[in-house]
Amino acid sequence: MQMHGHRHSISIKMAAPLETCTREEQCCVIRFLRSEGVKPIEIHRRMKVQYGDACLSQQQVYEWSRKFTNGVTSVEDAPHPGQAQQVVTPQNIVAVEAIVMENCRVTLNVNASCLKISHGSAHHIVHEVLQFHKVSARWVPRQLTPELRERCVDACEELLRRFEREGDGFLARIVTGDENWVHFHQLETKRASKEWRHSSSPKPKKF
* Full DSSP string of 65-105: HHHHHTT----SPPP-TTHHHHHS-HHHHHHHHHHHHH-TT
Upper half-sphere CA count for residue 121 (Cβ side, 13 Å): 20
What pLDDT is stored for residue 159 in this prediction?
92
Q: Is residue 91 part of a domain?
A: no
Whether residue 51 is contained in a domain is answered as: yes
Rounded to 5°, the CA angle 168-170-175 comes to: 110
Please check whether residue 39 lies inside any domain of the structure.
Answer: yes
Per the structure, the count of domains in the chain is 1
How high is the pLDDT of residue 32? 92
Instruction: State which residues form the domain around 53.
Output: 14-76
The answer to whether residue 185 is domain-embedded is: no
Per the domain annotation, does 65 fall within a domain?
yes
Provide the sign of the torsion angle of the four alpha carbons 73, 75, 76, 80, taken in this order: positive
Give the ranges where 9-74 is alpha helix by DSSP (H): 23-35, 40-51, 58-69
Residue 169 within any structural domain of the chain? no
Identify whether 57 is part of a domain: yes
206: helix, strand or coil:
strand
List pLDDT tens digits, range 150-180: 998 999 999 999 999 998 889 888 888 877 7
What would the pLDDT profile of 98-110 be if each residue is shown by its tens digit?
998 888 888 888 8
Examine residue 31 and state whether it is found in any structural domain, yes or no: yes
For position 31, which CATH number holds?
A: 1.10.10
